[in-house]
A and B are shown apart, each in its own frame.
Chain A
Amino acid sequence: MDNLLLMMAPLFSSKLLLVLFFGTLFGLILGVLPGLGPTTGGALILPFTMTLDPLSAIVLLTSIYCAGTYGGAITAVLINTPGTPAAAATCLDGYPLAQKGEAGRALGMATVSSTVGGIFSVIILVFFAPILAQLAYEFGQPEYFALAIFGLTMLASIGEGSPIKNLIAGAFGILISTVGKDFMTSIDRFTFGINELTEGIGFIPVVVGLFAMSEMLTQSTLINQVFNRIALKAIKLPSKDDYKKTWKTILRSSGIGSFIGVLPAEGGTVASLIGYSEAKRFSKKPEEFGKGSIEGIAGAEAANNAATGGAMVPTLALGIPGSATTAVILTGLIIHGVRPGPDLFREQPDFLYGIFGAMLIANILFFIFGFFGAKIFARITLVPNKILWPMIFAVSVCGTYSLNQSIIDVWIMLFFGVLGFFMRRYGFSVVPVIIGLILGELVEGTLRQSLVIFDGNWLMFFTRPIALTFFILSLIALAFPLIRSKKINKKL
């Protein structure tokens, strides 16, 4: 009961309500604009959060996360281009349905299923995050090391693209985290005599570079692309018949999304694809999928929004991000001096339940904004790239510079922009780099401390049951793509 009251705290604070309002609005705009999204937007807004107290800052970031994930659906339905990667599966049925003159119905279903998925995942978050945090009390350094390894292998295994390329990208992310003074011995590593590098490479320049700047370069290759935009008259709430058809799909996808979100992987993108394919598998009319099936939209949208709450579970309980955007939120927590983990649940329940409550309200807010403002948000897609991207460049450069007031950070951002472009061009996902960078210190620190505990004996890792379980799970995660590809080959 006390926790429920704590969750409602944002409702009684005008400042938090204002932050939620702007966060949701900003998140929706970011989600609608193809190429941007909650991860880039969160990274860009991070410097501004320094002017806020920790709770308001994290509420702002989480509301951007929730609304941005939903916003991608508007673009997916109306111009057949996912506003965010998590909305890719929504295009498959959203756009064909819009082509049939039912854009309002498609967006109505996307809005309802996103809201249900989001609220479902917040309930999961409220119940499971404290349990996971309680379990984490049993974790020592070796267990945290094994858990971080499990997180990275899961990311490689179920993330987008080739698992080996994902592993390379993850290892590269960890390697970036080793730049600067070694945190245990203060010895310089990969600084090449540059003073600014002794503090290490910051998270923000890397994220903004890999997401925003690489996207700018990608957009430069697409300037002649023409989008066929479908006009939206009004968004329609689903009919009784639509609810009858989809309620099981929405609930199933909400469960799938929450579960995938909890795994340290790519969150919404993977969740929506699995949610969509499961909706098709269970459908009475699978032949309609890809031609404008309302179940397809419900399956994908409920799953991607359900992943938001799910991804917050390991982020808050263990300090291990469940997605790229939660990595940004984790950075926000660290910048504001909040250390995620079991102690946070014991010492600052008001802070945590404030976040949970804010996520719940954000899901309701984007429903209202989406329902009444989808037509306006759809118009944002009309802003031409030749105007939009130079503006994003200006904000990216100033935002990156502002954190440390360092021009080197801006150069790093541009370097990672170019690198990110070529990584994506050759099939390397940039998400593992971000997760690797944020987990790098944890991986190295826990490994070294474990070896001190074990007196240098590596084999002692396997004498710890929890660590051993995570190592076995990591092996299964690595073997999973091999088994999956063999099964597909057999079917063919």
Chain B
Amino acid sequence: MKNVQKSKRANKSLPFFFKDEFKVSFVIIFVSIILLITTFTFDVVPPILNRGIQPATFPKALLTLIIVMTLLIYYLATKNPWKVQKKLPKSFILTLSSFVIFLIISKTLDFFLAISALSIFVSYCWGEKRIFYLLLVGIIFPVIVFIFFETILGLRFPPGIITNIYYS
């Protein structure tokens, strides 16, 4: 309880644009406005085909609702500030980066290689240094998963340097 009060006090002393409630509200409203603008580019249906409302009307109403409610939570947060969140650790940044690495490798090199690389990278960053376990999560297990999905579901994975060797 004391910690929550302390973190709330700490939050009060920050300039408004550094506060989580401002940053979160800003992001939601910014994205919503962009999407709202996008709705104006949707095709308009001629009255004879139109059933009830235009296709853009419903998303417009939803986005307006989201913006209004976000303003409301920001207003309420000025009275009752959110508690300050702890700084994200290095392990989080590394895990998040591994998602980006996965995207790049899966797009450019190979889907299987991407899974394997991410598994080894994440396991290592989270503290696993034993080679056998790194091989287990990075190679043995993905191979089992691949074969399982391929045989049970008849799945064909996207082409890539390793997958092509397997399929050929």
Contact = CB atoms under 8 A, between A and B. Distances in A.
B70 to A, nearest CB: 6
A417 B103 CA distance: 13
Given A390-B118, A452-B52, A217 B128 contact: no
B134 to A, nearest CB: 9
A462 interface: no
Given A187-B55, A189-B59, A223-B91, A172 B145 contact: no
Contacts of B24: 426
A226 to B, nearest CB: 12
A167 B62 CA distance: 11
A449 B51 contact: yes
B119 A217 contact: no
B33 interface: no
A7 to B, nearest CB: 30
A177 to B, nearest CB: 10
B136 A217 contact: no
A447 B91 CA distance: 46
Interface in A162-184: 162, 164-165, 167-168, 171-172, 174-175, 178, 182, 184
Contact of B82 (A47, A51, A387, A426): A426
A386 B138 CA distance: 12
A187 B153 contact: no
Contact of B55 (A189, A394, A447, A451): A189
Contact of A221 (B92, B107, B123, B158): B92
Contact of B158 (A188, A391, A407): A407
B58 interface: yes
B123 A386 contact: yes
A27 B2 CA distance: 38
Contacts of B51: 184-185, 448-449, 452
A217 B97 CA distance: 11
A419 to B, nearest CB: 11
Interface stretch (A121-129, A338-346, A397-405): A397-405
A402 to B, nearest CB: 5
A223 B73 contact: no
Contacts of A47: 153
Given A164-B72, A184-B51, A188-B42, A393 B122 contact: yes
Contacts of A164: 69, 72-73, 76
B16 interface: no
Contacts, number: 163
Interface string B132-161: 010011100110011001001101111000
Contact of A220 (B56, B95, B141): B95
Nearest to A436: B62
A220 B121 CA distance: 12
A390 B119 contact: yes
A411 B103 contact: yes
Give the size category of B's interface with A: 35 or more
A188 B59 CA distance: 12
A126 to B, nearest CB: 34
B10 interface: no
B28 to A, nearest CB: 7
A187 B162 CA distance: 40
A137 interface: no
Contacts of A414: 99, 102-103
Contacts of A185: 45, 49-51, 55
Nearest to A385: B126
Contacts of B42: 187-189
A168 B70 CA distance: 7
A220 B126 contact: yes
B51 to A, nearest CB: 5
Interface string A168-210: 1001101100100010110111101000000000000000000
A405 B158 CA distance: 8
Contacts of A444: 58
A245 B43 CA distance: 66
B69 A410 contact: no
A184 B107 CA distance: 34
A101 interface: no
Interface string B79-120: 000100100110110111001001100110001000100111
A373 interface: no
Contacts of B63: 175
Given A175-B62, A185-B45, A190-B38, 7 more contacts: A189-B59, A217-B96, A385-B126, A386-B128, A394-B141, A407-B111, A426-B20
Q: Which 10 pairs between the two chains have the least Cβ-Cβ distance?
A: A451-B52, A448-B52, A390-B119, A386-B126, A220-B95, A182-B55, A386-B128, A390-B137, A187-B55, A187-B43
Interface of B: 20, 24, 28, 35, 38-39, 42-43, 45, 49-53, 55-56, 58-59, 62-63, 65-66, 69-70, 72-73, 76, 82, 85, 88-89, 91-92, 94-96, 99, 102-103, 106-107, 111, 115, 118-120, 122-123, 126-128, 133, 136-138, 141-142, 145-146, 149, 152-153, 155-158
Interface of A: 47-48, 50-51, 162, 164-165, 167-168, 171-172, 174-175, 178, 182, 184-185, 187-190, 192, 216-217, 220-221, 223, 384-387, 389-391, 393-395, 397-399, 401-402, 405, 407, 410-411, 414, 417-418, 425-427, 444, 447-452, 456
9 contacts: A162-B73, A164-B72, A220-B96, A390-B118, A398-B145, A401-B157, A426-B85, A449-B51, A456-B52
